[in-house]
Amino acid sequence: EDQVTQSPEALRLQEGESSSLNCSYTVSGLRGLFWYRQDPGKGPEFLFTLYSAGEEKEKERLKATLTKKESFLHITAPKPEDSATYLCAVLPRGGYQKVTFGTGTKLQVIP
Amino acid sequence: DTEVTQTPKHLVMGMTNKKSLKCEQHMGHRAMYWYKQKAKKPPELMFVYSYEKLSINESVPSRFSPECPNSSLLNLHLHALQPEDSALYLCASSQDWGTGNGNTIYFGEGSWLTVV
């Protein structure tokens, strides 16, 4: 069974204090790994799709990386508007084509 | 801004009511999804439509009835719901389902459902 574990569950950062969120996964062949941002009461907002180990993608202060067992979302010099819950999800290459989500990391950036 | 549009944003219904949630996407995607999300939990898959045909039903109770009139529209018909069905219902779409790399799922803003 596919599994996704995100850590930490919650993270509190000072504005400008860089850090990383972790997503560890177990899947029988990875078709894609996805990162989303979710603000309270809203739908998840797509950030990145990663397909193979070694791949990296960047968007503003966010950078996502992928290895064979985990993915990191690096946040450089965060701002209060980066506060949100960040969700990681994986899609297996074969079998049942269903995305499995982690439980998310709730990020709070304090001015 | 998301290109998956959901209506209504909020819905309050009694346990004997019949209501519908509606979703439209303008990205030319061939797969559409319904997810349910409870507070502090990740989205939970309910249904997948691929090329307007139901491909996955995650053992959802029959009081939830999906409908895909065409590749751009997705409805979720609600009847005789229970208070525990109160949640955020998310519509989503992707270029394809189950093939290639066009599987990134894009979500709408959601419809908040309260059953009283």
Beta bridge partners of A62: A59, A75
What's the whole-number mean pLDDT along residues B59-76? 96
Band of residue B8 on the pLDDT scale cut at 50, 70, 90:
very high
pLDDT tens sequence across A41-94: 999 999 999 999 999 999 999 999 999 999 999 999 999 999 999 999 999 887
Residues of A in contact with B41 (CB under 8 A): 103
Give residue B100's pLDDT. Answer: 65
Give residue A3's pLDDT. Answer: 93
Band of residue B32 on the pLDDT scale cut at 50, 70, 90:
very high
Give residue A101's pLDDT. Answer: 96
Give residue A93's pLDDT. Answer: 86
Query: Inter-chain contact B108–A34, Cβ cutoff 8 Å?
Result: no
pLDDT tens sequence across A2-28: 899 999 999 999 999 999 999 999 998
pLDDT tens sequence across B83-97: 999 999 999 999 988
Give residue B101's pLDDT. Answer: 66
Q: Which of B41, B45, B104 sits opposite A49 (nearest CB)?
A: B104
A8 part of contact set with chain B, CB < 8 Å: no
Give residue B102's pLDDT. Answer: 63
SS3 assignment, position B84: helix
Paired tokens of B109: 């803003």
* pLDDT tops 60 at residue B63: yes
Report the share of chain B in percent with pLDDT over 70.
Answer: 96
What's the whole-number mean pLDDT along residues B12-34? 95
Q: Are B103 and A31 a contacting pair, CB within 8 Å?
A: yes
**Strand intervals (E) in chain B:** 4-7, 10-13, 18-25, 31-37, 44-50, 53-57, 64-70, 73-79, 87-94, 106-107, 111-115
Query: How many angstroms away from the CA of A111 is the closest CA of chain B?
Result: 24
Q: Which of A34, A45, A97 sits opposite B104 (nearest CB)?
A: A34
State the average pLDDT for chain A: 95
What's the whole-number mean pLDDT along residues B74-88? 97
* pLDDT tops 60 at residue B1: no
Cα(B16)–Cα(B79) distance, integer angstroms? 7
Cα(B43)–Cα(A98) distance, integer angstroms? 12
What's the whole-number mean pLDDT along residues B44-63? 95
